[in-house]
Amino acid sequence: MAMVSCQPTPQFTVPPTIAPTETLPILRSYATPITLKTATPALPAGYEDAAYLLDGVCYDALRVLVGTPIILRVQADLDQYFINLNSLGICEETLAAPTFDFSSQILVGQIQVGQGCDANFYPDSPTIDAQARTVTIRVQFTVAPDCDYEVMGIFLMAIARPPDDYTVRIQP
């Protein structure tokens, strides 16, 4: 003998229509990329962080470029920088060069590695010598000790475009 339980059919009521009193914004979902920040605690006047331009470049390719000054004055320089990165054959994917507005700024930087817990760059404001026609950027690279990790510091900044005949130097 089987037992069957029966309940009365529930009575559903239609909820009343609620008229909105104000228009709500439409919410959209966007994928948030992981962004790369220049390893500087605070930027002095004259710098704009541009490390995001290296997003997607693999660690090993950046590792090859440690200590090499980065001075890019026009889009063709940035394009060539990425051609050089791709020619290393280290990263799994071929990277397209991002675009940057070079009309009033240039890109300067360097990559360093050290052993420790964290790496930071401490740049001074750009020094302009009109007589020598140079822009000098002094950057101190520091590593917080007490860890056995290789840490990479990436310094890539946009600075005001100097005249084309000025030499740009990065010094420790």
Separation between Cα atoms, residue 167 and residue 44, nearest integer Å: 21
| Residue labelled with tokens 């860890």 | 147
Nearest one of 81, 71, 33 to 169, comparing CA atoms: 71
Q: Do the Cβ atoms of 142 and 122 come closer than 8 Å?
A: yes
The pLDDT score that the predictor gives to residue 40 is 53
CB atoms within 10 A of CB 158: 21
- In this predicted model, what pLDDT tens digit does every residue of 58-101 receive, in sequence order? 888 899 989 999 999 999 999 999 999 999 999 888 889 999 99
- Mean per-residue pLDDT of the chain: 79
Residue 118 pLDDT class (50, 70, 90 cuts): confident
The pLDDT score that the predictor gives to residue 1 is 36
Q: Do the Cβ atoms of 118 and 77 come closer than 8 Å?
A: no
Nearest one of 65, 115, 119 to 90, comparing CA atoms: 65
Percent of the chain at pLDDT > 70 equals 74
Q: Which two tokens stand for residue 97?
A: 């060069």
145 has pLDDT over 60: yes
- For the full predicted model, state whether its pTM sits above 0.85: no
